[in-house]
Chains A and B, each alone.
Chain A
Amino acid sequence: MPFRPDPTFYPSPRMAMDAPRERLAYVTAPDANAVLGRPDPLRDGLATVDLDPRSPTYGQIIALAEVPNYGDELHHSGWNACSAALCPYAPHPHVERRYLMLPALRSSRIYVFDTKPDPKNPKLVRTIEAEEIAKRTGYSRPHTLHCGPDGIYVSALGNPEGDGPGGIFVLDCESFDVLGRWELDRGPQHLHYDFWWHLGHDTLISSEWGTPKMIEAGVNPDLLLGKKYGHRLHIWDLRRRKHLQALDIGDEHQMALELRPAHDPTKAYGFMGVVVSVADLSASVWLWYREGERWAIKKVITIPAEPASADQLPPLLKGFGAVPPLVTDINLSLDDKYLYVSCWGTGELRQYDVSDPHDPKLVGSVHIGGIARRTPHPRSGGPLTGAPQMVEVSRDGKRIYFTSALYTTWDEQFYPDGLKGWMVKVDAKEGGGISLDPEFFVDFGPRRAHQIRLEGGDASSDSFCYP
């Protein structure tokens, strides 16, 4: 254990912006064949991508650590400890940001990789089995993972049988012991997806996707048109672990997914991405904010569907004559100034200036891939399948990396002729605007590419207790 705080911990988001540039990315690389029962299955892997422009292997996968099982569906990841360890009410900054925790969305295992002895070659050191999580928490399908001031918080989509409710459980940040369920009183909350918090306001927020049974075989058109997927934001008392308020955005909006609260702990607002409206196939971003003693929510961004001919569309969409934008991920720069929005259907990454969170302004856009457009990358050698999906912003806010794949069975529905696994980078201009880096294109070969974690932290890995 170090004698001084881990140098990658920062008291405030402003200070984290001055961190040295990232040199490595850790990207979850799931294999589709094993899940789909196709020939040539592979084990999922954790890919290490070289991001140091001075290195001869810049922009390449320099290591791929495979997990020992098939069909896990590695999805998200997160650190065992981060800047929240500096929080004043539970200060323990002499732990290390060392272990990358990889929840597997199908098998419900959590793999623990040690990045310390050789950061370029992380090693699997521990597997938390699904049975242990189920026995101690009653949950399965772990999804999002955040290092909190007092432990590692993990969201789970449901119970071991594949039904609801989903919720949150807690792990010890050093022993990785499964400590138990987090919520004491869940109120009306049943569906679960993402969560994060306003540490300065003792408030946790969570969103809704669907139970494992509702999502694992793919998007269920009956459930979608029947408006059964999630459409609420939940507000929780982080200290007392109880539900306070449910904010319903209306059931025409389906799949309330990614949550990005303001990084400044004195601010009390954030953004939620919503995948699709069944009324007009648009996607949207919503702002939650404090209004007196209560919380409120409103739509601040609407992205319309793009017309397309039926022969460009997968069976699921043929009847609609349009491509939905499908906002599957969003990310907020550490200065709370720019919001990045992935349009996984239309193949666009959008940059909004959210200096006034109530009135976002579209200031940048790049196109790549997309269901109908298939916009190539200069180095992709032709039309490209997949589209901007998981997006990660460097701590200084100057580089944005994103990958192409969503979730195996859903990838198949929207890209039935195959989805390419890739990772690309855009550069953010001072004052707004983004441009695709024509040199940076990481080909994941037979595997897909999902969430990116940057060495030493990024814009969605840390939370701060000081403004």
Chain B
Amino acid sequence: MTSAWPWITLALLGAYHGLSPGMGWLFAVALGLQEKSGKAVLRALVPIAIGHAASVGLAVGLLAAGKASIPSGILPWITGGVLVGFGVFKLVRPRHPRWVGMRVNMRDLVVWSFLMATAHGAGLMLLPVFVLGEDNPAPCHGPACHDAAGISLSSPGGYLAAISLHTLAMLLVSALVALVVYYKVGLAMLRRAWFDLDRVWAGALILAGVLGLLL
């Protein structure tokens, strides 16, 4: 049975990552405020998205390597176990990369975003989708996409399409939040609305792991 659910889930997780101030939109807003320019906000988000994609790509690459070398029945248990373990670790020890600096260039932003996404396990969170949804090709309608519809989530093209979709959703939501904060609501909302997403995030990692194990 095929369905669009893995692709929708990957996009929704991208949106969720985009909402988190720690994944980059807040840094983009700060750089915009420093330069007094809305364009600077958007300019910062592209390298941040690239760093995020690289981190997700690393996790997916590890999964692909695992698929090639580990018996297929065991892999869901390994990914589920890693996710639950990492989630518990993040709950117990919610530490952050020690990055010190506002004066950053494009390369710095890519590296910073890669570090933040990796330290938070952004890519790990997606692994159950790849494990459970590997038989589902990209949804496509109409005659023009006859070939594209064949992209399987477990093929190299499928991995690339999935990471791109996740990153695009992350970028769009980051940009939306960053621009609304920069132009409309202002930073005072941080004090009221900045929930401890790290703990929600750790919970999401554990949930993803458990779902991966049960389904």
Contact = CB atoms under 8 A, between A and B. Distances in A.
6 contacts: A5-B190, A5-B191, A86-B190, A90-B98, A91-B21, A149-B100
B177 to A, nearest CB: 13
A126 interface: no
B199 interface: yes
B100 A89 contact: yes
Contacts of B199: 3
A265 B101 CA distance: 12
A88 B27 CA distance: 5
A58 interface: no
Given A3-B195, A201-B102, 7 more contacts: A3-B196, A87-B102, A91-B26, A202-B102, A239-B100, A266-B34, A467-B33
Q: For chain A, give the interface size range.
A: 35 or more
A150 interface: yes
Q: Which of B29, B30, B97, B99 has the most CB of A within 10 A?
A: B30
Contacts of B97: 90
Contacts of B195: 3-4
A337 interface: no
A157 B203 CA distance: 45
A261 to B, nearest CB: 14
A466 B112 contact: no
A10 interface: yes
Nearest to B97: A90
Contacts of A9: 191
Contact of B191 (A1, A7, A92, A148): A7
A89 B31 CA distance: 10
Q: Which of A2, A90, A94 has the most CB of B within 10 A?
A: A90
A64 B130 CA distance: 61
Contacts of B27: 88-89
Task: List the 6 closest pairs (A to B, CB-CB), nearest first.
Answer: A239-B101, A88-B27, A11-B187, A88-B30, A88-B26, A150-B98
A177 to B, nearest CB: 12
B198 interface: yes
B98 A151 contact: yes
Contacts of B196: 1-4, 94
Interface in B54-76: none
A150 B33 CA distance: 21
A4 B193 CA distance: 7
Contact of A5 (B30, B36, B194): B194
